[in-house]
Amino acid sequence: QQQVKQSPQSLIVQKGGISIINCAYENTAFDYFPWYQQFPGKGPALLIAIRPDVSEKKEGRFTISFNKSAKQFSLHIMDSQPGDSATYFCAAKYVGNEKLTFGTGTRLTIIP
């Protein structure tokens, strides 16, 4: 049972553009939603995370938008750069439990 659905599977964006990756979850007990960035040969690195009591969180060029009623959240990368080319994973977990349930990943490619 896939509890976190992520789309698209791959994404190509021009340099300077906005990259948008979407996730939807099923378990309403989830209360923490992180995004991870992974480069080839490396472990996932925490980018930004949000809790459901806010609808948006911004850190530099990265923004999470959260829609609790729709059970959806998305990552926006503004002014996308070639160095942002990586695989991005959304995830979710709930209070009292460290288990992260991951989406299937999005391979992002930024072209010059």
Partner 1 sequence: KAGVTQTPRYLIKTRGQQVTLSCSPISGHRSVSWYQQTPGQGLQFLFEYFSETQRNKGNFPGRFSGRQFSNSRSEMNVSTLELGDSALYLCATCAGLAGGGEQFFGPGTRLTVL
| Residue 73 contacts partner 1 per CB under 8 A | no
Q: How many residues bind partner 1 (CB under 8 A)?
A: 25
Is residue 62 a contact residue for partner 1 (CB under 8 A)?
no
Q: Rounded to an integer, what distance in angstroms lies between the CA atom of residue 35 and that of residue 96?
A: 19
Does 45 bind partner 1 (CB under 8 A)? Our answer is yes
State residue 84 phi and psi, 5-degree precision.
-85, -10
Contact 62, 48 (CB under 8 A): yes
Do residues 31 and 95 lie in contact, with contact meaning Cβ atoms separated by under 8 Å?
yes
Gap between the Cα atoms of 53 and 66, Å rounded? 9
Q: How far apart are CB 10 and partner 1 at their closest, in Å?
A: 13
Work out whether 10 is an interface residue with partner 1 (CB under 8 A).
no
Interaction residues for partner 1, span 80-109 (CB under 8 A): 89, 91, 93-105
Give the residues lining the site for partner 1 (CB under 8 A). Answer: 32, 34, 36, 41-46, 49, 89, 91, 93-105
